[in-house]
A = this chain, B = another copy of it.
Amino acid sequence: MAAASLAWSAAALIDKIRKRHPRIHCLTNGVAQAFTANALLALGAQPSMTNSVEEVEAFVEGADALLVNLGTLDEPGRQAMRLAIGVANRRGIPWVLDPVFVERSSGRSTFAHELIAHGPKVIRGNEVEIAHLSQGQAIDGFARALGAIVAATGTTDRLVDGNRAIGIPNGHPLMGRVTAMGCANAALIAALLTVADDPFEGCAAAMLAAGVAGEIAAEHSSGPGTFASAYLDALHGLDSGKLATRARVI
């Protein structure tokens, strides 16, 4: 995909989000909840966040996509994720797995693999997390074996689905100095999946949007605190001109 067509596609998909206000249910950790909700709202989507075992199924029933972030894994949290994924798969709504810190505990790794067996549409992690999950396998082989899109974020965000691959080098180093930036990115992917006919195109749009918003935010901030606010402003203000001017593909 050339940079110009990626920018054009992303702008069109973001317009759809602003018109349809899709509902994204997010199972995520306490550190990331508020920023993730604000990123979704800034883009035009409607977040919900409840993670109680008693209610999660009803919320996913009414949602257009689901985000599952490993975040803080206690037993009720794991059970809520299983229930949510069950509803998503039964209803055919896409879900995104964000395997935060999967390399830090063996229980987390085991649980991540359990969830992956249930067929996420997208797995998004940083390079360390994706390398841990793929156990050294090449990322495109890993994606092909899973039948999922794999997004590995870093200096260049890489996106593969087994057949296609794209690298998006947009972004800014301050994105690594704000908590939940990656978690929010995964939520943006979930939002874009609700409006994209081609999930790969939806993922690429989300990653471009995040990267371009980061670049714009860096020009309107003086450190990681003002950057986080400016990033939400930039997501809210994205348009085809800004995306086309800045989009890069490698």
Contact = CB atoms under 8 A, between A and B. Distances in A.
A120 B221 CA distance: 38
Given A35-B34, A38-B178, A104-B48, A232 B224 contact: yes
A104 B59 CA distance: 6
B31 A49 contact: yes
A13 interface: no
A156 interface: no
A108 B41 CA distance: 23
A236 B178 CA distance: 11
A152 B34 CA distance: 23
Given A71-B50, A225-B231, A226-B233, A179 B41 contact: yes
Interface in A84-140: 101, 104-108
Contact of A50 (B34, B76, B101, B180): B101
B77 A49 contact: no
A51 interface: yes
Contacts of A231: 225
Given A41-B179, A225-B229, A228-B225, A53 B74 contact: yes
A75 interface: yes
Nearest to A179: B37
Interface of A: 29-35, 37-38, 41-42, 47-55, 58-59, 62, 71-77, 101, 104-108, 176-180, 220-226, 228-237
17 contacts: A29-B49, A30-B33, A30-B49, A41-B177, A42-B177, A42-B223, A42-B225, A50-B73, A50-B101, A55-B105, A55-B107, A223-B232, A223-B233, A223-B235, A225-B230, A226-B230, A228-B232
